Amino acid sequence: MTRIDNLPQHNAQYGAQAYWDERYSNEAENASFDWFQTIDLVPLVQRFVPDTSARICMLGCGNSLLSANLYDKGYHSIVNLDYSPILIEKMKNVNSTRRPEMIWQTADVRALPFDDESFDVCIDKGTMDAMMTSIRNPWNPPDQVIKDCNDEIDQVVRVLRKPNGVFLYLTWGQPHFRKQYLLREGWQLETVELGDGFCYYLYVLRRKDRDDKPKAP
């Protein structure tokens, strides 16, 4: 868990690399933090990604336990990305012995350093939300926020393998605030409402022409 004194003075700092570098520098190497602590994400991933050999890109991994938990369930082909090099080095050290096949890499989700169709799955668990923290009026987001979010999804669509690649995005953001960034021609968006009382949303983006659709009886 993270310490309360590591929280930012202003929400907009969640979108700043300097904040995360400082925060991770001050946290213990084995510290962890998950935005969505009341949701067990492993069964959700297993539901939409039953193949444990799938190559997964974790967008903005932070020091969440999700990657480790997935690895321990048999998902060994996980590439963890974060734009804080301090965090990446810490996570390498923490996981190198128990989870040697996992990859940790410094990268920006808005400009992924991978070839087209490199992954079966991309997962965002609050990273896009962090880029939105400067928004004061959610009905009228700044142009830079719109660009950042669209850049991320454009990159996701580019690196997902055809025809069965899938993007999983977990967020507090309601559909009328998030769909504008997620909808893409040729792709189908599914919304799954989660939580008990306080709602989370899992957005599932898949190609319309995928060949793993359930067959009609």
Distance CA 137, CA 184 (A): 24
Q: Is residue 212 part of a domain?
A: no
* pTM of the model as a whole: 0.84
Q: Is residue 2 part of a domain?
A: no
In this structure, what CATH number is given to the domain that contains residue 78? 3.40.50.150
Per-residue model confidence (pLDDT) at position 40: 83
The residue range of the domain holding 17 is 10-207
Q: Is residue 5 part of a domain?
A: no
Distance CA 183, CA 158 (A): 14
Number of domains observed in the structure of the chain: 1
Q: Residue 147 carries which side chain, given as an amino acid letter?
A: K
Q: Is residue 120 part of a domain?
A: yes
Which of the 8 DSSP states describes residue 11? G
* Buried residues in 92-114 as b, exposed as e (16+ CB within 10 A): eebbeeebeebebeebbbbebee
**Averaged over 30-54, what is the pLDDT?**
80
Q: Is residue 213 part of a domain?
A: no
pLDDT band at 50 (very low <50, low <70, confident <90, very high): very high
Q: Is residue 101 part of a domain?
A: yes
User: In whole angstroms, how large is the CA radius of gyration of the chain?
Assistant: 17
Long-range Cβ pairs for the range 112-116 (8 Å, 24+): 112/57, 112/81, 112/155, 112/156, 112/158, 112/159, 114/57, 114/159, 115/159, 116/158, 116/159
pLDDT band at 4 (very low <50, low <70, confident <90, very high): very low
Residue 30 has pLDDT above 70, yes or no: no
Q: Is residue 215 part of a domain?
A: no
Sheet holding 56-59, edge to edge: 103-106, 78-82, 56-59, 121-125, 166-171, 200-207, 187-194
Contact 52, 119 (CB under 8 A): no
Contact 184, 157 (CB under 8 A): yes
